[in-house]
Amino acid sequence: MKKSLVLNSELTQKIIQGDQGAFELLFKMYHKPLCNFARIYVKQFHIADEIVQETFISVWKARAQLDQNKSLNAYLYRIVHNHCINFIHTARVDKRLSDEYRNELAYTTRMLETDLSDSYYDRLANDELEHILNNAIDQLPTQCREIFILSRYHELTYQQIAEKLTLSVNTIKTQLSRALQKLREVLENI
């Protein structure tokens, strides 16, 4: 069994047992990514945040029904998705949104509802993480970014990169170390 599935199962089990610390950990892990996901639907951060808060309240209230053998990640994204859809339908009925905004929401909803499997929600989380990493890589200084890409994506050795960029192997090691440190900092802040 994959390590992430074991951790997911253990975390789920603790939440089922009413462990507030485990639930707080779940909240810290997923609050920001779920808010970003909800914003795809509702476009406004404060509404997305309210939807995510409602999601966590729902999970806590229904914790006894959680299945520790299923993906907690997919479960959370599915609940947020459902809450967003409910919000959109309510907003349409209330006519609080402009026609253009409603049309955009309807289009987004149709596009996102085409595949609602658990793997879809897992892919969304992975896509978001990949997007965050790509942005972090783009923010690296030019030489540092180039060295990182040659090492990680083109799988060149330190020596090959040094020859290609006419730099010393020690410079390559230093720059790669800096790149990895900056990327670690970004991931720690997720």
Q: What CATH number corresponds to the domain at position 91?
A: 1.10.1740.10
Pair 115, 144 in one domain: no
Give residue 145's domain range: 140-190
Kindly tell me if the per-residue pLDDT of 52 is higher than 90.
Answer: yes
Please report the pLDDT score of residue 99 as a whole number.
57
- Each residue's pLDDT tens digit, 63-116: 988 887 888 888 899 999 989 888 877 766 555 445 555 566 566 666 555 555
Please report the pLDDT score of residue 59 as a whole number.
92
CB 52 within 8 A of CB 34: yes
Pair 110, 170 in one domain: no
Please report the pLDDT score of residue 96 as a whole number.
46
* Sequence-separated (6 or more) residues with CB below 8 Å from residue 51: 38, 42, 80, 83, 84, 87
CB 38 within 8 A of CB 80: yes
Pair 178, 125 in one domain: no
Please report the pLDDT score of residue 120 as a whole number.
59
Q: What CATH number corresponds to the domain at position 168?
A: 1.10.10.10
Pair 176, 154 in one domain: yes
Pair 46, 93 in one domain: yes
Pair 173, 81 in one domain: no
DSSP label of 65: G
Kindly tell me if the per-residue pLDDT of 22 is higher than 80.
Answer: yes
What is the distance between the alpha carbons of residues 26 and 44, in angstroms, rounded to a whole number? 23
- Each residue's pLDDT tens digit, 39-51: 888 888 899 999 9
Pair 124, 146 in one domain: no
Pair 83, 164 in one domain: no
- Each residue's pLDDT tens digit, 150-166: 888 788 888 998 999 99
> What is the mean pLDDT of the segment spanning 122-142?
78
Please report the pLDDT score of residue 116 as a whole number.
53
Amino acid type, 60: W
- Each residue's pLDDT tens digit, 53-64: 999 999 999 998
Which comes out higher in pLDDT, residue 101 or 28?
28
Number of structural domains (the chain) is 2
